[in-house]
Every structure is written in C-alpha cells, then in structure tokens.
Structure 1
Amino acid sequence: MNFRLRTSKQSEEKLKNLQSTTNLTPNILARLAISLSLKVKSMPSEDLANTNGLEFNRNTLTGEYDYIFKALITQHAEREVTDEEYFPSLFNLHLERGVGLLDSEYKHAGNYEKFIINLMSMD
C-alpha cells in the first residue's frame, strides 16, 4: 500500500503560486482542489506520466477524514474502489484536475477575498 503521492511539476508550480498569494498551505489547497474536482461529473483524465512535483503523505492530505475522501471518490467513480486504486491513483487524478480548477478560480476572482467568497458560494 502506497502512502505517498507526487504531483506533476505543473501542479507543484500552481500550488506554490496559490500558496504565495493566499497564504494557504499546499495540503489545504490540495483538499480544496479535490473538492472542486469531485464537483465535475466526468472522471479525470488518466494522464499522470509527469510526477516530478510536490510529494505528499496520505495522512497529511486526508488525516482523520481519509474514509470520507475515499467514500466521496468511490461515489464519484460510481463503483467499488480498492484502497490501492483510491490512493494514490484516483486521489492524484482528482488532485491534478482540481489544482487546475482552483488556479482558474483564483485567476477569475483576482484576489484572496473574492476567491474565498466564490469557493464558499459554489453549489
């Protein structure tokens, strides 16, 4: 069982930029990114050839909410998901897609306050 995942270099850069503008740590930004990805009905693409970015520990990302994240990802997949599929594979696919969505949301908002307000008001 793998308890570590690595992001792509592009996601690492986006997370670092978001961290510098929002003062939110990469693990908090990653949780927000997963949440945004889960709002998209389709499954994320399975292109994870580039994993030269940030390294995360599973417990750092999910902590006491690991079962909730797994349940949400399983529900999104609409099928049973093994622990090996869930982390790091599916989790990382959602993270990668979500980081792009989070970055776009910040660019659209233009500043931290609007960014947080927009995230809180999403359906």
Structure 2
Amino acid sequence: MQFRLKTSKETMEILKQMQTNTNLTPNILARLAISLSLLLDEPIEQFESDTNGLEFNRNTLTGTQDFAYKAIIAQQLGRAITDEEYFPILIKKHLDRGAKLLENEYKYAGNYEKFIKSLANFEMEMVR
C-alpha cells in the first residue's frame, strides 16, 4: 500500500502558480482540483501523465475524508476499486486532470474573489 504520490510536472507548475495567485496551499488546491475532476462525466482511466512534480502524502490530500473520496471514485467508475488502484493511481489522475480545470477556472474568473465565488457555484452549474 502506497501513501505517497507524485503529480505531473504540469500539475506542479499549476499548483505553484495558483498558490502565488491565491495564497492557498498546494494541498488545498489539490483537493479542489480532485473535486473538480470528480464532477466530470468523462472516464478517468485513460488519462495519463508523468510523475515529475510535487510529492503528496495520502493523509495530506484526503485526511479524514479518505473513505469518502474512495467511495465517490468507485461510484463514478461503477465498480469496486482496490486500495492500490485508488491511491495513488486514481487520485493522481483526478489531481492532474483537475489541476488544469482549476487553472482554467482561475483564468476565467480573473481574480481571487471571483475565483472563490465561481468554485462555490461550480457544482450548482454542473447540476443544471
């Protein structure tokens, strides 16, 4: 069982730039990225990326909500997933895909305040 994952180089660059722009720590930004990725209907299994970026500890990313993240991912996939598949493989895929979404949301919003408001309303927009 692994307790660490490495993001892609692109994700590392996005998270560092987002940290500069928002003053949010990379672990908070990573959780937001994972959440955005989970809102998409597109399958995550074919998503590929490198492992040349930031290293995260499992507890730092999912903490007390680890079981919830695993359950949501399994539900989205429509099948049971092993712990080895869940972390680091699927969480990393969602993190790397979600980082691009997070970056696009910030660019579209234009500033921190609009960005946070946009994220707060993001799920509501996806449901409609």
Query: What is the TM-score when the length of structure 2 is the normalising length?
Result: 0.93
1:79 is the counterpart of 2:82: no
Q: Give the structure 2 partner of residue 3 of structure 1.
A: 3
Question: Displacement of 1:42 after TM fit?
Answer: 1.3
How far apart are residue 46 of structure 1 and its match? 2.9
Which position in structure 1 is the counterpart of 2:21?
A: 21
Q: Which amino acid aligns with 2:48?
A: D
Q: Aligned residue for 1:43? A: 43
- Deviation per CA, 1:38-60, whole angstroms, max 9, x where unpaired? 11011223313x10100000001
Residue 63 of structure 1: how far off its partner (Å): 0.7
The match for 2:110 is 110
The residue type paired with residue 47 of structure 1 is E
Q: CA RMSD in A?
A: 0.8
Q: Distance in 2 between matches of 1:17 and 1:80?
A: 35
Instruction: Give the equivalent residue in structure 1 for 2:57.
Output: 57
Aligned-partner SS, 1:121: helix
Write the deviation string for residues 28-80 of structure 1: whole angstroms up to 9, x where unpaired.
Answer: 001000110011011223313x1010000000111111001111111111111
Percent identity of paired positions between Structure 1 and Structure 2: 60
Unpaired stretches in structure 1, ≥5 consecutive residues = none
* Equivalent position SS for 1:56: strand
Ranges in structure 2 where 5+ consecutive residues have no aligned partner: none
* Letter aligned with residue 17 of structure 2: N
Task: Tell me how far apart the structure 1 counterparts of residues 103 and 120 of structure 2 sit (CA, whole Å).
Answer: 16
Number of aligned pairs?
122
